[in-house]
């Protein structure tokens, strides 16, 4: 075991007396608790005194007012307050003159019957045998079934059809006119005439005008399909001369449909005659 170390002499093998003397020597250099408290209070008092003195010595800060904007000189115009200049009359007149005029719009394009047809003529390439009929009424009898409803229009349709038949060579005594109540009765009237086998063709004339109810759609559709059925059932050509109008004033541009229906019926009758003759050879 090593000997004790003597702190006083720095040698080992120290005695108890030397150890006690070393303890006292060490504690002599440390301040007491009272000295520590007194030192802390003094330092605190010094800091408070120094802080109070610095506040007393500060000078007040001068507040500088912002400088006002200099007023504009009298010679410089204030653009913001000046009123907007109106355009000169000459410039306005020239601007109006340069604008394109509004396009003209047809207020009633339906009235023009020509809009229902495409331009150009039908043509058959050469080198083919052609079986074709013509509106020839010589030695033919024609039955005309016409609706009494909307009589002002159907009367003009009938007059145009009769003039066309006579111009095509149909004798007046070979034409039979059979009035029926309305367009809905045209199919059964046409079928009755065709079944007699006395007429080469039938001309059907009528007029239906759209109203506030679906009545127009039913009558127009049944008249068209019924007349087609009469032709298919009997084999006698039946032409469709029924006007289907949105308004009554549209009839003025379409009354020539009576003459067109007469020509169509005669052409189909002549075509069937050529077909029978070709088949008999």
CB-based contact 142:163 (threshold 8 Å): no
Number of domains in the chain: 2
**Under 8 Å CB-to-CB from 166, ≥6 apart: which residues?**
172
Active site residues: 215
Q: Is residue 212 part of a domain?
A: yes
Residue stretches of the chain with pLDDT short of 50: 1, 8-9, 92-93, 95, 97, 105, 109-113
pTM for the structure as a whole: 0.59
Instruction: Establish if 69 belongs to a structural domain.
Output: no
Same domain, 154 and 275: yes
What is residue 46's predicted lDDT score, i.e. its pLDDT?
76
What's residue 16's pLDDT?
A: 55
Report if residue 226 sits inside a domain. Answer: yes
Would you say residue 70 lies in a domain?
no
Q: Is 163 inside any structural domain? A: yes
Give the tens place of pLDDT for each residue, 21-53.
555 555 555 666 677 677 777 777 777 776 666
Compute the C-alpha angle 62/63/64, nearest 5°.
Answer: 110
Determine, yes or no, domain membership for 181: yes
Report pLDDT for 198: 96
Confidence at residue 64, expressed as pLDDT on a 0 to 100 scale: 55
Residues 8 and 144 both lie in one domain: no
User: Would residue 222 count as lying in a domain?
Assistant: yes
Q: Give the structural domain span for 23.
A: 1-37
What's the CATH number where 166 sits? Answer: 3.40.50.960
Q: Residue 104 domain-assigned?
A: no
Instruction: Kindly state whether residues 273 and 150 are assigned to the same domain.
Output: yes
């Amino acid at each position: 075991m090593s000997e004790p170390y003597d702190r006083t002499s720095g040698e080992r093998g120290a005695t108890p007396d030397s150890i006690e003397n070393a303890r006292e020597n060490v504690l002599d250099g440390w301040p007491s608790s009272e000295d520590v408290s007194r030192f802390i209070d003094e330092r605190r008092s010094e800091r408070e005194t120094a802080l109070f003195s610095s506040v007393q010595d500060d000078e007040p800060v001068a507040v500088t007012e912002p400088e006002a904007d200099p007023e504009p000189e009298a010679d410089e115009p204030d653009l913001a307050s000046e009123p907007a200049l109106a355009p000169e009359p000459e410039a306005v007149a020239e601007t109006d003159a340069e604008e394109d005029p509004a396009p003209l719009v047809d207020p009633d394009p339906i009235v023009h019957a020509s809009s229902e047809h495409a331009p150009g003529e039908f043509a058959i390439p050469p080198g083919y045998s052609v079986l074709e009929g013509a509106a020839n009424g010589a030695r033919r009898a024609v039955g005309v079934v016409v609706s009494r409803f909307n009589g002002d229009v159907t009367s003009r349709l009938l007059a145009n059809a009769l003039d066309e038949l006579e111009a095509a060579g149909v004798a007046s005594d070979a034409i039979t006119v059979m009035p029926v109540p309305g367009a809905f009765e045209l199919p059964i009237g046409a079928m009755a005439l065709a079944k007699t086998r006395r007429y080469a063709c039938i001309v059907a004339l009528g007029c239906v005008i759209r109203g506030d109810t679906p009545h127009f759609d039913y009558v127009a559709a049944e008249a068209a399909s019924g007349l087609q059925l009469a032709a298919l059932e009997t084999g006698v050509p039946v032409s469709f001369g029924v006007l289907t109008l949105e308004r009554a004033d549209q009839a003025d541009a379409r009354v020539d449909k009576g003459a067109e229906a007469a020509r169509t019926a005669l052409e189909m009758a002549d075509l069937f005659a050529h077909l029978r003759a070709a088949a008999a050879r």
